[in-house]
Structure 1
Amino acid sequence: MTTEAPPVPPTPDSRGRRIAIAFGVIVAVIVIYVLSLIAVHLLAKSAPPLPAVDFSKIEADDSVVSVHIEKLDTVANRLTVNVLVYPKDSLYDKNFGVLTTDAAVRLYPENDLGDLQYPVGKAPAQVSTTIEARGDPGNWPFDSYKTDVLAADVFTGSGPSKEKTFARVEITGKLDGWDASATRVHDPEDANPDSLDNVVITLHRSKGPLIFDLGIILVLVALPALALWVAIPMALGRTSFVPPFITWYGAMVFAIVPLRNILPGSPPPGSWIDQAVVLWVLIALVTAMALFVYAWWRNRDRKSPKKT
């Protein structure tokens, strides 16, 4: 009768080596984490908000329409804005801060509310509406959106005394996660060639969300790589079969969709990120799970049927 030899206890050298490796891994993770924070802080600077209306550069006879950007619906290509009119001084009572006549603003191209009304005897208030900002949301996260040339007319008075005047459009505000820019454009109907009263709004995604998107994509790619790295040796019989790994595979498969849905900007279903990353990650994970099931099938316990 032979007896198995007792396990050899680890030597002090091997134990110290394991402790050094574990300590090195912890230090490496901390260093990578700190460097990533520094990199994100340095690179994720977004553009400053568009400045407020500078009334020192506006003459008393000029009417100004302020367009404050609020929200962008990428799928619908609609930009929500708050519109506020600053009529020329002769139509505004500075003592009480109210309009001395009815006023209406007409934006070009047309907005969803048509003419925006500002009644006489009241202080002008912001009116919320939406305008078109064209772009392709399927190009997420490299999509950008641009409006047509925004122009405005201010109608004052009522009836036969109603007047129409050109207005200077000013863009203000900031969108979270977006870099907004306003380009001044000359109105071809204006005889003054130096007049730049119209404007075009352009929106690009900020660097901060792009860096976060890259991190999520790297996580998505790493999950199937780790799964295949474990499943292939098991399927080839080069390592021991570990049954509890099946729960790990199932958790990874069901984690893909939540990870995809937390991407900043909520890319629409079917965009390139789904075709180039998410779909292939799911295929790789299912392949890894199939290899794991094959390894289980080959190493399963085979029991003879009981004779009755």
Structure 2
Amino acid sequence: MSAGHDWPFDGYRASDVQVLAFSGSGAARVAVPVQVAVTDSSTPWAVHATEADSGPGKPLDIHVTRTGASVGFGIAMCAVLLFSVLPIRNLFPGSPPIGSWVDYTVVLWMVMGLAVSLALYVTAWWRQAP
């Protein structure tokens, strides 16, 4: 499977995927015809499958990419993190460069703060439920 490494615009491709099914065991084992259905049931991903032209087993080429909403969400998350990290980084002496340990630490604390806030909200909501 080949992959693109340009998140959130990444995609994945698998070529010549074949599905084989057999019934029985040992000498009585026989091939069973199968019908393959590739579905697109994961919301943030768009799945496209095409039949390859080679071979008797009709191999499939499968290509998976992120949907527009998923790409937009990734870009929005990066923008929000940049707007909150830049002012904090600039408070430090010497204004550390982009990608320094300060960026990772601030992002980690922000994510932890959001997780704790969500947990407190759910706990408060749960206690007030009838």
TM-score interval, normalised by the smaller of the two chains: 0.5 to 0.7
Indicate yes or no: 2:63 matched with 1:202: yes
What is the aligned partner in structure 1 of residue 9 from structure 2?
A: 142
| C-alpha distance in structure 2 between counterparts of 1:203 and 1:260, whole Å | 31
| C-alpha distance in structure 2 between counterparts of 1:200 and 1:261, whole Å | 38
Q: Deviations over 1:112-145 (max 9, x none)?
A: xxxxxxxxxxxxxxxxxxxxx4314x42111111
Task: Measure how far apart 1:205 and its partner are.
Answer: 1.2
What are the equivalent positions in structure 2 for 1:23-172 lying under 5 Å apart?
Answer: 133-136=1-4, 138-172=5-39
Task: Measure how far apart 1:204 and its partner are.
Answer: 0.7
| C-alpha distance in structure 2 between counterparts of 1:144 and 1:260, whole Å | 28
Secondary structure of 2:43's match? coil
Q: Which has the higher contact order (CA 8 A, sep 6+)?
A: 2
What is the aligned partner in structure 2 of residue 258 from structure 1?
A: 108
| C-alpha distance in structure 2 between counterparts of 1:168 and 1:254, whole Å | 48
How many residue pairs get aligned? The number is 103
Secondary structure of 2:60's match? strand
* One-letter code aligned to 1:171: V
Closer, same or farther: CA 178–256 of 1 in aligned 2, 3 Å: farther
What is the aligned partner in structure 1 of residue 79 from structure 2?
A: 218
| C-alpha distance in structure 2 between counterparts of 1:213 and 1:253, whole Å | 18
| C-alpha distance in structure 1 between counterparts of 2:31 and 2:104, whole Å | 60
TM-score, scaled to structure 1: 0.27
Please list every run of 5 or more consecutive structure 2 residues that lacks an aligned counterpart in the other structure.
93-101, 113-130
1:179–1:206 CA contact under 8 A, matched in 2: yes
Please list every run of 5 or more consecutive structure 1 residues that lacks an aligned counterpart in the other structure.
1-132, 191-196, 232-251, 263-308
Q: Deviations over 1:83-117 (max 9, x none)?
A: xxxxxxxxxxxxxxxxxxxxxxxxxxxxxxxxxxx
- Aligned identity (percent) is 19
* One-letter code aligned to 1:151: Q
Closer, same or farther: CA 175–156 of 1 in aligned 2, 3 Å: same
Task: Measure how far apart 1:260 and its partner are.
Answer: 8.2
1:156–1:163 CA contact under 8 A, matched in 2: yes
For the pair shown, which has the larger CA radius of gyration, 1 or 2?
Answer: 1
What is the aligned partner in structure 1 of residue 41 from structure 2?
A: 174
2:40–2:46 CA contact under 8 A, matched in 1: no
Closer, same or farther: CA 139–160 of 1 in aligned 2, 3 Å: same
Task: Measure how far apart 1:161 and its partner are.
Answer: 3.5
1:156–1:162 CA contact under 8 A, matched in 2: yes
2:46–2:65 CA contact under 8 A, matched in 1: yes
Task: Measure how far apart 1:227 and its partner are.
Answer: 5.7
Closer, same or farther: CA 167–221 of 1 in aligned 2, 3 Å: same
Closer, same or farther: CA 229–160 of 1 in aligned 2, 3 Å: closer
TM-score, scaled to structure 2: 0.55
Closer, same or farther: CA 186–170 of 1 in aligned 2, 3 Å: farther
Question: Which aligned runs of 4 or more in structure 1 are off by greater than 4 angstroms?
Answer: 224-231, 252-255, 259-262
* One-letter code aligned to 1:223: S
Indicate yes or no: 2:58 matched with 1:188: no
Secondary structure of 2:55's match? coil
